[in-house]
Structures are given as structure tokens and as C-alpha cells.
Structure 1
Amino acid sequence: MKINITLLLVMIFLTSMTAQVVINEYSASNLTKYVDQFDKTEDWIELYNSGSSAVDLSGWHLSDKESKPEKWEIPDGVVIGANDHMVFLCSGRDQVFKSGSNSPAEYHTNFKLSQTTSGETLILSDPSAEVMQSIPYETTLIESDIIENFGNLRIDLVETSRIRVTDGADDWMLTTSPSFNQSNNGSPVYSGYTETPTIDLEAGFYEGTQSVTITNNESNSVLKYTTDGTNVKEDSPEYTGAFEVTENTVIKARS
């Protein structure tokens, strides 16, 4: 009886140790947040250890495919500290890069995250291949303004990530302020993306005054725009109805 009790306690202890490590944040739209040792801005996955003890991640696995939960093995000697974060770059390089004895190592997986692929799932599994985390992958779009510049089209890019709110919690939200290797607590969050507004006048050349209408199917969102080529910001004018264009104009709209 004593042996059974001892084994049970050990099993409970080991389970609690592994369960405290979670996928905490991920991004498929890293534009400026982190430039790696190869001078690239790769996508990334962040793990968080919510426990009070460090966890050895040697032999654990990360994957973007449910059918291949052991797609990439975390190298030996990788330890995530208590209440700490650790980032893995999804570059497809499958290597560890360290620039100096005092610099933290960069861990590059053998897969990339996709902006367009649907049906992907982020997987974290332990050395025995038991899946510890399975997160349906929602694309973190490279968000863009709608820009109609008669004859030209330009896209302004905004990086985003999906984060747990707060660190280690169950709820996932979207943020435009990725917290790479740092706490998510306090990050500005949104429930998701609004639909893209539509400008009824196509890019091109026109004679005379033109009326421009911008439509948006998001009933609870505010539609703002600019007509001078500047990015749409919080203090940009709110769209309230059709307006006239009498000269070459760059129109931007966001909801």
C-alpha cells in the first residue's frame, strides 16, 4: 500500500511540473519585433512556465501539424525558468545559433508558420510524445490599410500576435503589440479582425468630381479614413457618409 501511495504522489508531481508549461503567444506576422542573428524577422512561438520551479524542456517537441506532433525536438539542455518565457523562431532552419558566451541562444524550428494555410494546429508535446498543448492556429494576419491611390495600390503593414490574457490563462486574444519573450499582462487586446472596408470607387483615372462611398459590414466598429495619404490613426476623421474628390487623392480607410 505504501508503494502505491508513493508512486501516485510521484505521478501527480510529474504531471504538475509538465502541465505548468504552455504555449503563451505566437505570431505569423513578425515585421520588426525581433530581428534574428541571420538578419531575418521570422515568425515565432512563445512558451511560458507558470510554475514556481524551472522545467527541463530537453526532448520536448513543437509542431504545426496534428499528424506530426514530434515534428521538431527541443534540443538537450534547454531549461525554462520559473515564471519565465522562452521563444522559438519558426524559421525552418532547424538549428541552434549562439553568437557569444554571454548571448542567449536562438532556437530555430524546422517549420514555418503560414499567413494563409488553414487547418494548422500548434502542438507542444513532452518527451514521451504526450500532447501537452494543442492550439488551433488562427492566422495572425499582416494587417493592411485599404489604400486607393488612383492608378496605384500600396499596403501598410501592421504586425500582430495572438496571446493568452493574462500569461498562462485560458482566453486567447489578438494584439497589435506583440510581447516577444515578455509578459502579456497589460497588452492591448482585441477579439479579432474586423472585415475589410470597401471603397466603391476603383483605382483609376476619372474626369470631373467623383463621389466616394466607403462601406463596412461591422455594425459595432468605427470607420475612419484619410484623404492625404497618411496612415489612419485614432484621431483621423470618422466616416459619416459619401464625400467628393476633385483632384488626385490617396484614400485610406480602416475600421
Structure 2
Amino acid sequence: MRYSIYLLSMLLLVNLAGADVLINEMLANPATDWNDNGQVGGMDDEFIELYNSGNESVDVSGYSLKDKVFRSTPTEYSIPNGTVIGPGEFLVIFVSESGVYQGNEGDAIMLYDPTGDLVDEKEYDAATEDVSFARIPDGGEWRNSTAPSPGKPNQEAAS
């Protein structure tokens, strides 16, 4: 009985910790070399940033990202085993790694936990070059940011 209660408690803590991970910034229409591969712009510079707003590290192994508007088949990216986001830290995933494209004319990006439950979602209508969708402050309300900041705190927003 004690073992069952312990196991249930651990599962609840993992689920509660997972609630602290959210989509924090997205760049759908890049015109700059954001992934530092020497090529300016292009879809490979699109990124999705996750943020751990909690006080504990969260293992995001098996979490998945999906886009709603896809080119030919639905795209799903599973975050690799051993991926942990520390408290107040970021995880940046470029489309060159994930294959999860963000449409310039609008789309929705969804984050699911390993059990398939929706953790977070950001839907948008259109994307301007080098203007990201960002929570400002980190983990806060969605705004358009004229200063994309993959892996760094979101600070500047345009109205």
C-alpha cells in the first residue's frame, strides 16, 4: 500500500512539474540567421522556445510538438530522452531539428506531454519577418516581439 501511495505521489509531482513547461517564444517568418549556420533567413531559422516557469527541473523527454497547418503530412517532433529544462531556463528547438514548420500565413503549435495531454498551444493568424510571438515577461502574456531572443529572456515587444 505504501508503495502505491508513493508511486501515485511521484506521478502527480511529475504531472504538476510538467505544467510549468510552456511555449514561450516562436519565430515563424525569419529573415536573419537565428540558428547560426551561416545562411540568412529561410525556414531552418524558424524556432520554438520552451520555458520552465517552475522552481524545479523538468524532464521533457517524450514531450512532443505538433503544428496544426502542415505542408503534406502532420509533423510531430518528440523531444529526445534525457532532455531536462532547469528552473527558469529555456529549450530552443529549430525547425531543422524538429521538422515542425510554422506557416507564415497562420498556424498553431501545440505542446503535448508524454501521455498525450495538451500542455500548451499558440495559434496565430500571420507572421511578420523577424517578429516573434513571445510571452513577455517570460511565461506571461503573448505579444509580438521585435527582438527575437532564442534561449534568452523575452524583453522587447511591439504593439
Identity %: 32
Q: Is the 8 A contact 2:58 2:85 kept in 1?
A: yes
Give me the whole-angstrom Cα distance separating, in 2, the residues matched to 1:37 and 1:24: 23
Q: Which has the higher contact order (CA 8 A, sep 6+)?
A: 2
For 1:14, the equivalent position in structure 2 comes to: 14
Partner deviation per Cα, 1:46-74 (whole Å, 9 max, x = no partner): 00011222222221101112899871111
What are the ranges of 5 or more consecutive residues in structure 2 without an aligned counterpart? none
| 1:165 correspondence with 2:136 | yes
* Greater share of helix: 2
CA-atom RMSD, angstroms? 2.6
For 1:46, the equivalent position in structure 2 comes to: 49
CA shift, 1:21, in A, is 0.6
For 1:79, the equivalent position in structure 2 comes to: 84
Give the 3-state SS of the residue equivalent to 1:14 in structure 2. Answer: helix
Matches within 5 A, 1:54-133: 54-65=57-68, 71-91=76-96, 108-116=97-105, 118=106, 120-133=107-120
Partner AA of 2:133 in structure 1: R
Residues 40 and 111 (structure 1), Cα distance of their counterparts in 2 relative to 1, 3 Å cut = farther
For 1:135, the equivalent position in structure 2 comes to: 122
CA shift, 1:181, in A, is 1.0
Partner AA of 1:179 in structure 2: S
Normalised by the length of structure 1, the TM-score is 0.53
Partner AA of 1:32 in structure 2: T
Give the 3-state SS of the residue equivalent to 2:147 in structure 1. Answer: coil
What are the ranges of 5 or more consecutive residues in structure 1 without an aligned counterpart? 92-107, 143-158, 192-255
Partner deviation per Cα, 1:166-208 (whole Å, 9 max, x = no partner): 1112x11111111121011xx22233xxxxxxxxxxxxxxxxx
CA shift, 1:40, in A, is 5.3
Q: Is the 8 A contact 2:110 2:120 kept in 1?
A: yes
Give me the whole-angstrom Cα distance separating, in 1, the residues matched to 2:75 and 2:144: 27
Q: Is the 8 A contact 2:67 2:102 kept in 1?
A: yes
